[in-house]
Structure 1
Amino acid sequence: MREENESDADFTSRRRDHAEVRMKYDLKRKKWDISNHKCLMVAKSTISDATRGSILDCDTAMEYLQKVESQFTDSSKAYASTLIKKLFNEKHTSGGIREHILKMSNTALKLKPMDLGLKDVFLIHLVFASLPKEYETFIVNYNM
């Protein structure tokens, strides 16, 4: 910025002296912006859709990760409750049975770090309870 009592020649000279510093700063800033953008994309792509949708967009990757962290530290009980409800209310509607079982198993695994892990036998019963009538022979064969 030009100072109040500065002449045109002094201002031009001062600007010319700082041009190299400004250029280095602009180059470093551009590299940082690209790196930050890549980090944000990686962070967002590795987080589940439900979690990603509940977090507001941020300008920096660090800010975004702090919001993700605060989401889970503040609401771990609520998150655990949501996972448990999801397990108990899950119903197989379409698609393969393998994907359904893996989905329920993955949900149950998310409870383990919160010391709420389910026994495998109980998880199997939850999976069977979530299956429609057409899989009844599968359930009977397993029980035998």
Structure 2
Amino acid sequence: MKFTSIKLITVKGVCDYINKMRDFAARLRALEVEMFESFLVHFTLNSLPPQFGPFKISYNTYKDKWSIDELLTICDQEEARLILEIGDSATITQGKKTIQAKQKGKAKM
């Protein structure tokens, strides 16, 4: 249930989010639930927030498919770019729980 209900709803925290998805997949494999890495990459990518839309399109048009490690590396770079572009707060929802983390920033005058 956690694997299908966890969502990243803002830009920051994508590396932690992908690692959580990878951990959930490992737990499912331990329960003998088969999951191809390509499915994990696709599912994780499609659960990213709308700000990653152009990034998702780029992945879908790219001929080579990524491993989960490649997705993690590339998403880390995309996250840094998006944070500079749109802001620095992150929220992850898991079922009914909401976890919010804010990066310390400069006070606006």
Larger Rg belongs to:
1
The structure with more helix, counted as a fraction of residues: 1
The structure with more strand, counted as a fraction of residues: 2
